[in-house]
Structure 1
Amino acid sequence: MVNLRKKLPPLTALTAFEAAARLSSFTRAATELGVTQAAISRQIHLLEEDFGFPLFRRLHRKIELTDKGRLLYAAAGDAFNLIADTVADLRSEGADDELAIAATISFSHFWLLPRIAAFSRAYPEIKLRIITQDARTSIEASDVDLAIRYGTGTWPDGQAEFLFEDEVFPICSADYLATADPIRTPGDLINHPLITSDIDDPTWTGWDEWLAAFSVKAPKRARGLRCSFYTEAIYAAMNGQGIALGWNRLVSDLIRQTRLVRLTEASIRTRAAYFVVVPARRPKKESGRLFIEWLREVSSSAE
């Protein structure tokens, strides 16, 4: 074992290399591994120093494997896949049928958790584990059985199945509406504090896009609270801080509970949709199939 360790490069550096080679990007590798791009570059530089030759060609806006880099990637990929498959087999032997479900904070908080008790009542033998995270990590490289994501449905780490689209409209609290100036058209909204959230997703609908759909130009310096997460924006709206954009699938329960009020009939359809994603190279669990069927039933009944 000692001799074997001396022959192998550092595992951290090899992991960074495998991710960068598979994704053809230092940036995407950093996102997958939850580190900075500088950390990925540093690990690969150390690996290249250790080998004494380059593994990548650094081109304008992209990277390419060298011939020796391709040989290393083929070996590393086969080795990592073998280890991952073996670990998955070991974990499944004699283990409870635990189903690990990943979702964003907002989807988990506003849609999934209020409904998931119904699934547990229908299938009490299935143990659930909810993994809430806004940072998207590879489900192939984790123990997640399925992930609920918003986007275009094209992700390299799994097979995506369409769940539902959504619509977006302005919302606020009843207390705010009672004291605010009248809001009859989308153009009236720019006279109010508009609550925003910092979401690094080009398919997510923000105020600029929403207002532009009704030929309204968003003010350059709009009043309103800026939040880090969408959940914070919704709670700010419920507490009377101003007006937020409500995604129907996420805020419909709050509207029924009169904790939020929909403003105007104006709305736009989302450019992307919600999908359930399952690992492409891992056997699908029966509990996962049952959960996806339940997701479809619940989402279709809410339409």
Structure 2
Amino acid sequence: MKSLRSQLPPLTALTVFEAASRFSSFTRAAEELGVTQAAVSRQIHLLEEDFGFPLFTRLHRQVILTDKGKALSAAASDAFNLLAEAVTDLRRDASSDELTISATIAFSHFWLMPRISEFSRHYPYINLRIVTQDNMPNLQRGEVDVAIRFGNGMWPDGHAEPLFEDEVFPICSPEYAGTDGRIKTPADLTSYSLISNETDDPMWTGWNEWLSSFSIVVPKKTRGLRCSFYTEAIYAALNGQGIALGWTHLVEDLLRQGRLVRLTDAAIKPRGAYFVVVPTRQRSKEAANLFVKWLQIVSQEPK
């Protein structure tokens, strides 16, 4: 059986050929490689001798790939790109032990940050960087290693694994719950101050959708506070400003601590769920794999 090396043409010549075919120019290839045009011509000639057929058609001021040259160019380009990606990933792993995690402001604030110290205790050598923003970063840009997202799990820039679904129900502070009498049904809520937040996410459940799911006509004018972010709405509820919608996994700690109370058993399931997402076009860091496994275990722990 022939060795792999014996089946390949001279690698130096192949490197020169890849540059020349990409630029369709010996001169520009020489500039990129830091050699003379004569050196490029010599390497291409050696390669053509090795194959036994021409790879370029030489014209007066340009070179054009032959059909066989085009086939070799495509193969060489794919091979060099694959090798470059692997080298980049290996260098990134060797030079950096930082793991960048993206999450929404609410998820990071109420769920991730109270638990992330457990991951650090297990893997103290991994430096964490948390990027909190409600606009989803594109994972293909290489700026984020792992993202936690809410949605349908279909994102073109990454592979998604489910974490958990959620429920949405009305919550408020214990003090506010005892001010105006007992709330027994969803319809009773319209008489109270309802705290909402602005969002562009079509899968986010607001008061109109929540009340409508119980066939309750939402009054045109309702009392309440409107906030820019969900975190602000929750803090307004904590401070007795009114009633907000609680998402199970975002407010579970506050409910357990008694800082918020659930007002009714009525709840709805939003259309989306939480997912952990990793880029699809690059090799995952080992730290990212460890974080995903930890996240999947923690997310299934009983509340």
What's the TM-score, normalizing by structure 1? 0.70
Structure 1 residue matching 2:293: 3-state secondary structure: helix
CA contact (8 A) 2:93 2:285 kept: no
Residue of structure 2 in register with 1:146 after alignment:
146
Residue of structure 2 in register with 1:178 after alignment:
178
CA contact (8 A) 2:89 2:283 kept: no
Question: Is residue 269 from structure 1 mapped to residue 269 from structure 2 by the alignment?
Answer: yes
Per the alignment, do residues 204 and 93 of structure 1 end up closer, same or farther by CA in structure 2, a change over 3 Å counting? Answer: closer
Q: Which amino acid aligns with 2:137?
A: T
Question: Is residue 202 from structure 1 mapped to residue 196 from structure 2 by the alignment?
Answer: no
Structure 2 residue matching 1:119: 3-state secondary structure: helix
Question: Is residue 285 from structure 1 mapped to residue 285 from structure 2 by the alignment?
Answer: yes
Residue of structure 2 in register with 1:221 after alignment:
221
Per the alignment, do residues 95 and 102 of structure 1 end up closer, same or farther by CA in structure 2, a change over 3 Å counting? Answer: same
Q: Which amino acid aligns with 1:177?
A: A
Residue of structure 2 in register with 1:159 after alignment:
159
Residue of structure 1 in register with 2:187 after alignment:
187
Q: Which amino acid aligns with 1:205?
A: T
Structure 1 residue matching 2:278: 3-state secondary structure: strand
Per the alignment, do residues 163 and 234 of structure 1 end up closer, same or farther by CA in structure 2, a change over 3 Å counting? Answer: same
Residue of structure 2 in register with 1:234 after alignment:
234
Structure 1 residue matching 2:139: 3-state secondary structure: coil
> Alpha-carbon deviations, 1:19-61, whole Å to 9, x = none?
xxxxxxxxxxxxxxxxxxxxxxxxxxxxxxxxxxxxxxxxxxx
Q: Alpha-carbon deviation of 1:107?
A: 0.1
Residue of structure 2 in register with 1:251 after alignment:
251
Q: Which amino acid aligns with 1:150?
A: F
> Alpha-carbon deviations, 1:239-262, whole Å to 9, x = none?
000000000000000011111111
Counterpart-to-counterpart distance in 2, 1:96 and 1:142: 13
Q: Alpha-carbon deviation of 1:263?
A: 0.5
Q: Alpha-carbon deviation of 1:142?
A: 3.5
Counting only pairs closer than 5 Å after superposition, residues 81-160 of structure 1 correspond to structure 2 as 85=85, 88-89=88-89, 92=92, 94-160=94-160
> Alpha-carbon deviations, 1:245-295, whole Å to 9, x = none?
000000000011111111111111121100011100010111111111111
Q: Alpha-carbon deviation of 1:101?
A: 0.4
Give identity over the alignment, percent: 62
CA contact (8 A) 2:171 2:246 kept: yes
Counterpart-to-counterpart distance in 1, 2:298 and 2:86: 35
Structure 1 residue matching 2:159: 3-state secondary structure: strand
Q: Alpha-carbon deviation of 1:93?
A: 5.5
CA contact (8 A) 2:171 2:260 kept: yes
Q: Alpha-carbon deviation of 1:209?
A: 1.0
Residue of structure 1 in register with 2:20 after alignment:
none
Structure 2 residue matching 1:140: 3-state secondary structure: helix
Per the alignment, do residues 88 and 104 of structure 1 end up closer, same or farther by CA in structure 2, a change over 3 Å counting? Answer: farther
Counterpart-to-counterpart distance in 1, 2:297 and 2:170: 27
Per the alignment, do residues 87 and 185 of structure 1 end up closer, same or farther by CA in structure 2, a change over 3 Å counting? Answer: farther
Greater Cα radius of gyration, structure 1 or 2? 2
Which stretch of structure 1 is more off in the superposition, 204-213 or 230-239? 204-213
Structure 1 residue matching 2:115: 3-state secondary structure: helix
CA contact (8 A) 2:192 2:223 kept: yes
Residue of structure 2 in register with 1:50 after alignment:
none
> Alpha-carbon deviations, 1:41-85, whole Å to 9, x = none?
xxxxxxxxxxxxxxxxxxxxxxxxxxxxxxxxxxxxx9xx99x94
Counting only pairs closer than 5 Å after superposition, residues 53-64 of structure 1 correspond to structure 2 as none
Across the aligned residues of Structure 1 and Structure 2, the Cα RMSD in angstroms comes to 2.1
Counterpart-to-counterpart distance in 1, 2:88 and 2:212: 48
Counterpart-to-counterpart distance in 1, 2:259 and 2:112: 18
Structure 1 residue matching 2:183: 3-state secondary structure: coil
CA contact (8 A) 2:150 2:273 kept: yes
Counterpart-to-counterpart distance in 2, 1:123 and 1:94: 17
Per the alignment, do residues 205 and 186 of structure 1 end up closer, same or farther by CA in structure 2, a change over 3 Å counting? Answer: same
Counterpart-to-counterpart distance in 2, 1:202 and 1:87: 40
Counterpart-to-counterpart distance in 1, 2:131 and 2:91: 18
Counterpart-to-counterpart distance in 2, 1:111 and 1:155: 22
